[in-house]
Amino acid sequence: MSLVSTKEMFKKAYGKYAVGAFNVNNMEIIQGIVDAAQEEKAPLILQVSAGARKYAKHIYLMKLVEAAMEDSGLDICLHLDHGADFEVCKSCVDGGFSSVMIDGSKHPFEENVALTKQVVEYAHSKGVVVEGELGKLAGVEDAVKVKAEDATYTDPDQAVEFVKRTGVDSLAIAIGTSHGAYKFKGEPKLDFPRLEKIAAMLPGFPIVLHGASTVLPEFVKKCNEFGGDIKDAQGVPEEMLRKAGTMGVCKINIDTDLRLAMTASVREYLVKNPGDFDPRQYLSPAREAIKKMVQHKIKDVLNCSNQA
Ligand code: G3H
Ligand code: 13P
Ligand code: ZN
């Protein structure tokens, strides 16, 4: 079995549903996600951040994903999330990933174009697809924090120029989502007219939505019930994500919701079983919590069951 690219996945999904891209950091997270996708017969993107590569090491993640494909029989795309420079993208292309993201969104437009083009040329020469980003999301990713006032929405004309000049295979855009658990102050709002315009100006071209966790209140509540202290968390309402999936958004990135589900489960187990110290005892329900969360996303948010 070998990893698959997103080309066919996105072609099939366009305008109908979105494929989930879930962040992975260890074996239990990979197993929980893959079990859910297998049961739902869903297309699947597993994504690895620079932080995840540092935590678990590239080779461990690679081998775990290889094992997951062999064990489940599922086609999986393995994607680099938020590649910051050419070197990290090259290292993931050379190291066997089937997709990479070059995130040049913090650079001025011309620099972003030049950097993205450089990655596209290299990745395409090795048969690997590339996601670019234009516009700036607020929130925390790796050690980078972008304040809400520094976030900038994607300009539709620039998006067309960016895609044309770089040759990227998909584009992450900023329409109001943000990374982490604190996405909105007050009423959640996404700029759907902007998404509609970008999709109309780039017909059939796959759009990506980052920062798309919903931050379900029951998981925040459970974390807090068992010793956590998470205040004012708010995510993207599920109906907004369902709508985006019919408007040209082919890939929806989810990490925070998995973190919350896993942490709520571990907290609950340890508080309820103070005498236990076998990691398998608290990681088994945590893995199950990841599976349930991903299954919910696939069925009720992404609408991609039975599309593998
Ligand atoms: O967008 C960032 C993802 O949630 C990954 O987070 O960089 O802490 O692994 P991380
Ligand atoms: P969340 O923090 O909303 O889960 O977003 C994850 C993400 O965009 C990963 O690239
Ligand atoms: Zn992201």
Over the stretch 41-50, which tens digit does the pLDDT of each residue have? Answer: 999 999 999 9
Q: In angstroms, rounded to a whole number, what is the distance separating the alpha carbons of residues 108 and 45? A: 29
Q: Which of 25, 46, 48, 49 to mutate to test the pocket of ligand 1 (most atoms within 8 A of CB)?
A: 49
Q: Would you say residue 255 has pLDDT above 90?
A: yes
- Read off the pLDDT of residues 127-146 as tens digits, 9 standing for 90 and up: 999 999 999 987 777 666 77
Q: Which domains does the chain have, with CATH numbers?
A: 13-302 (3.20.20.70)
**pLDDT (0 to 100) of residue 143:** 64
Closest ligand 2 atom to residue 258 Cα is 4
The total of other beta-carbon atoms located within 10 Å of residue 193's CB is 10
Q: Whole-structure pTM over 0.95, yes or no?
A: yes
Determine whether the shortest distance from the Cβ of 179 to ligand 2 is under 6 A. yes
Q: In angstroms, rounded to a whole number, what is the distance separating the alpha carbons of residues 138 and 118? A: 26
Pairs from 271-276 (Cβ < 8 Å, separation ≥ 24): 271/226, 271/227
Q: Which ligand is nearest to the CA of 49?
A: 1
Q: Which of 142, 182, 208, 263 to mutate to test the pocket of ligand 1 (most atoms within 8 A of CB)?
A: 142
Alpha-carbon Rg for the chain in angstroms? 18
Closest ligand 2 atom to residue 178 Cα is 3
**pLDDT (0 to 100) of residue 179:** 96
- Read off the pLDDT of residues 71-123 as tens digits, 9 standing for 90 and up: 999 999 999 999 999 999 999 999 999 999 999 999 999 999 999 999 999 99
Q: What separation in Å is there between the alpha carbon of 210 and the centre of ligand 2?
A: 5
